[in-house]
Amino acid sequence: MTQWTEEVDPVNGDFRVQLRVEKVLFERQTPHQHILLIENRTYGRVLLFDGVAQVAENDEFIYHEMLSHVPVLAHGAVRRVLVVGGGDGGAIEELFKHPGIEHVDLVEIDEAVVEMSKAHFRSVCGEAFEDPRLRLTIGDGVEYVAACADTYDLIMVDSKDPTGETNVLYSEPFYRNCRKCMTPGGVLVTQNALPFFDRDWLGKPLARLRKMFADVGCYQVAVPSFYGGFMAFGWACDDPAVRQVPEATLAERYSTAAPETRYYTPAIHRAAFALPPYVSGMLA
């Protein structure tokens, strides 16, 4: 008998999609969410939280490369990074391709996600969890940032989609606490959902970020397993010049760092910030 997952858009609930399940590799109900890892012929291994796809083995490189390399290469001198969420390890695996990065703090609320990734998702995380530059904290990212005395050149929020006004990882207090943990010229990048489906949500977090950062915007990337078109990443920095780094400078930094990428290029980096009017209008 064919088994299927049913995925419902978590923000507005108006969209459903099914994935054929070839095999269930991991399933657990934790205090935070239902975790399911399946095999699918098109996407490979697919991680779902509460029935919603989060990471697909065969296209995760698109999401994680753009989440990580865009801010690192735009900044040009990232040494210390904080990642909130991202327990699958895909983001830190990309970060550790940069030899200039000296330290990464990863704060993941659900230890089972890390356990699952180490056991079944090495194609995504590689050996990132064994990298000596990593300090893994199992805990609440909001509480961690509120109490944090360290500073970072880059903060990445690799979270689930926003599911309501109470989602604290999209709240003004959380952003303010992130701001106090950042070095001058530091960059904050956030997962900011799908503009076409989540039209009410794209502008709200960015409006909150504008209260504390000089330069706020977003860039886009299309990830096939995230149904609904382009995904937006929120961008915030004190220095507007960081977002406007010329392609030639990005190319030089890319060549020096020499990260192996399958999607990211300096040209795609610059193009990702070119927004169609229907998206830029949501930011006004």
In angstroms, the CA 17 to CA 1 distance is: 19
Burial class (CB in 10 A: 0-12, 13-18, 19+), 69: buried
Same fold, 3-56 and 60-283: no
Say yes or no to pLDDT of 67 above 70: yes
Supply the pLDDT for residue 199: 74
Contact present, 126 and 60 (Cβ < 8 Å): no
Judged by DSSP in three states, 95 sits in helix
| Homologous superfamily assigned to 60-283 | Vaccinia Virus protein VP39 (3.40.50.150)
- Give the residue with greater pLDDT, 227 vs 236: 236
Q: Give the tens place of pLDDT for each residue, 7-33.
A: 666 555 677 788 999 999 999 999 999
Q: Which tokens is 142 given?
A: 């909001």
Which residues are paired to 36 by β-bridges? 27, 48
Please determine, looking at this structure, whether the domain spanning 3-56 carries the CATH number 2.30.140.10.
yes
How many C-beta atoms surround the C-beta of residue 70 within 10 A?
Answer: 24
In angstroms, the CA 232 to CA 163 distance is: 16
Catalytic annotation present for 14: no
Q: Where are the domains of the chain?
A: 3-56, 60-283
Q: Give the tens place of pLDDT for each residue, 96-152.
A: 999 999 999 999 999 999 999 999 999 999 999 999 999 999 999 999 999 999 999
Contact present, 106 and 86 (Cβ < 8 Å): yes
Catalytic one of 88, 153, 158, 161: 158
Of 49, 28, 25, the C-alpha closest to 37 is 25
